[in-house]
């Protein structure tokens, strides 16, 4: 018989007394229990602010060095890492290599649960070697229950190869530690359905990952004000409209003129805005952006 450790002492495995009778509650009462539990998540994320900010600084440094942010997780944690990575290119026009997500069990595990895949730390080690992870990269391990061998194997190997490492879990460090450079612990407490970390722990994970990638992209110039000026307007009609409206918002020109600017800039909002601000063509606008490391504010907020 396979020996399995008792994990009942982990916060993510404990029984939530507020939902102990949820199976006999009315739909309305059960909703109130779930909603009340979810309402506590933002405060738990806020408590981890110092560590989240440390992680952002590591990621920004990696991006500026031409490195990567690599998420590794299993189950819900792995899927959320892959999701966040997949959403960066359409939002920020980032190279797909910049943020990558990997899940124990491979791509099949995205669509159906392959629970046993998380038990093998060597798979995490092998992944780091396959990715040739190194000093310019950040490895971000996600394991809400903290014990996932696959993630720990990846973190250890990434450190050996010189990468910076981050670990995100929902159990106190004093109960189960990790070897990462930055350890983020978001203590959302026991789940409404005992052990189902796709609930509060999953929501907290999504919040942290959103914050890390969004603010890292802001720091490297992918956002102007709060506008996603590096959006890929060639993707669909919705984004052409968004890009056109951003140009209108910043420049004050009419919609037809904004669309003409966008077309002349080959769909690049930042290029169009520099063209308008400096009265230059696309090539000169792109040169100015390169000299400003992609930061639109360095061009638009200074005199020509």
Helix (H, G, I), strand (E, B) or coil at 51: helix
- Among the listed residues 204, 151, 208, 201, the one whose alpha carbon sits nearest the alpha carbon of residue 11: 201
State pLDDT tens for residues 150-204.
999 999 999 999 999 999 999 999 999 899 999 999 999 988 888 888 999 999 9
Q: Measured between alpha carbons, how far is 230 from 222 in angstroms, rounded to an integer?
A: 6
- Alpha helical stretches, state H, 93-233: 108-111, 121-130, 149-160, 200-219
* Residue 220 CB contacts under 8 Å (≥ 6 apart), including other chains: 60, 63, 64, 293, 294
Cα–Cα distance list, 218 to 57, 70, 88, 155, 189 (Å): 12, 18, 12, 26, 31
State pLDDT tens for residues 22-36.
989 999 999 999 999
Q: Measured between alpha carbons, how far is 211 from 213 in angstroms, rounded to an integer?
A: 6
Point out the catalytic residue in the list 13, 57, 87, 260. 87
Point out the catalytic residue in the list 118, 174, 260, 286. 118
Active site annotation includes 87 = yes
Q: Are strands 138-142 and 99-103 parallel, antiparallel or unpaired?
A: unpaired
Single pTM value for the model: 0.91
Can you list the domains of the chain with their CATH numbers?
Answer: 11-219 (3.40.50.10490), 237-300 (1.10.8.1080)
Per-residue pLDDT of the chain (304 residues; tens, 9 = 90+): 345 576 768 777 768 888 889 989 999 999 999 999 999 999 999 999 999 999 999 999 999 999 999 999 999 999 999 999 999 998 899 999 999 999 998 888 888 877 777 878 999 999 999 999 999 999 999 999 999 999 999 999 999 999 999 999 999 999 998 999 999 999 999 888 888 889 999 999 999 999 999 999 999 999 999 999 998 787 788 889 999 999 999 999 999 999 999 999 999 999 999 999 999 999 999 999 999 999 999 998 765 4
Tokens of 93: 């026009």
Cα–Cα distance list, 186 to 130, 138, 158, 206 (Å): 30, 20, 23, 12
């Amino acid at each position: 018989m396979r020996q399995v450790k008792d994990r009942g002492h982990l916060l993510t495995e404990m029984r939530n007394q507020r939902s102990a009778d949820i199976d006999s509650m009315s739909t309305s009462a059960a909703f109130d229990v779930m909603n009340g539990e979810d309402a506590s998540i933002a405060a738990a994320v806020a408590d981890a602010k110092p560590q989240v900010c440390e992680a952002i600084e590591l990621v920004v440094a990696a991006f500026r060095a031409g490195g990567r942010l690599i998420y590794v997780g299993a189950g819900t944690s792995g899927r959320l890492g892959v999701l966040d990575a997949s959403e960066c290119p359409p939002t920020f026009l980032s190279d797909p290599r910049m943020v990558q997500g990997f899940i124990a069990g491979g791509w099949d595990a995205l669509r159906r649960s392959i629970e046993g895949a998380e038990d093998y730390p060597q798979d995490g080690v092998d992944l780091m070697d396959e990715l040739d992870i190194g000093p310019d990269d950040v490895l971000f391990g996600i394991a809400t229950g903290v014990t996932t061998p696959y993630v720990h194997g990846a973190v250890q190997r990434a450190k050996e190869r010189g990468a910076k490492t981050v670990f995100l879990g929902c159990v106190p460090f004093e109960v189960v530690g990790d070897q990462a450079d930055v350890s983020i612990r978001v203590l959302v407490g026991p789940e409404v359905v005992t052990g189902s970390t796709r609930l509060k722990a999953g929501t907290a994970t999504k919040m942290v990952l959103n914050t890390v990638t969004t603010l890292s992209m802001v720091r490297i110039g992918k956002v102007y004000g709060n506008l996603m000026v590096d959006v890929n307007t060639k993707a669909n009609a919705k984004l052409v409209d968004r890009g056109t409206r951003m140009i209108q918002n910043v420049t004050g020109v009419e919609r037809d003129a904004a669309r003409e600017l966008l077309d002349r800039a080959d769909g690049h909002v930042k290029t169009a805005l520099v063209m308008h601000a400096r009265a230059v063509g696309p090539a000169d606008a792109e040169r100015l952006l390169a000299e400003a490391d992609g930061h639109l504010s360095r061009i638009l907020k200074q005199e020509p």
